[in-house]
Amino acid sequence: MMPVATLQAAMSKALAHLKRTTPAELLKGGAGSADGTSALDSIEVIWLLAKMKRAFGHSVLDLSNVPRSQWSTLGAVSALVHDAIAEMP
């Protein structure tokens, strides 16, 4: 199983590519967040989850069942995806 930090690094790299920046620059934006990672817009979260869906062949996480406060940062999304992957059969 992939550690949360590795998953977060992969997501950070993908998001940085989308924003045409570096993962290090993305992390600078997280200074004010509770977990120290970048705050994400809803569309960014959906885009990241679509990347995970492509990798796994099906949806990994249903955001309609998760309060917005639990998926507002890169760290939080990484942790949710990690937990969802761990629960897969």
By percentage, how much of the chain surpasses pLDDT 90? 38
Q: Which CATH class is domain 4-86?
A: mainly alpha
Residue with tokens 């990672």: 37
Which backbone phi and psi does 31 adopt, to 5 degrees? -60, -30
pTM value is 0.84
What's residue 30's pLDDT?
A: 58
**Res. 43: pLDDT tops 90:** yes
**Res. 31: pLDDT tops 90:** no
Q: Is the distance from CB of 77 to CB of 10 less than 8 angstroms?
A: no
Show me where the domains of the chain are located. Answer: 4-86
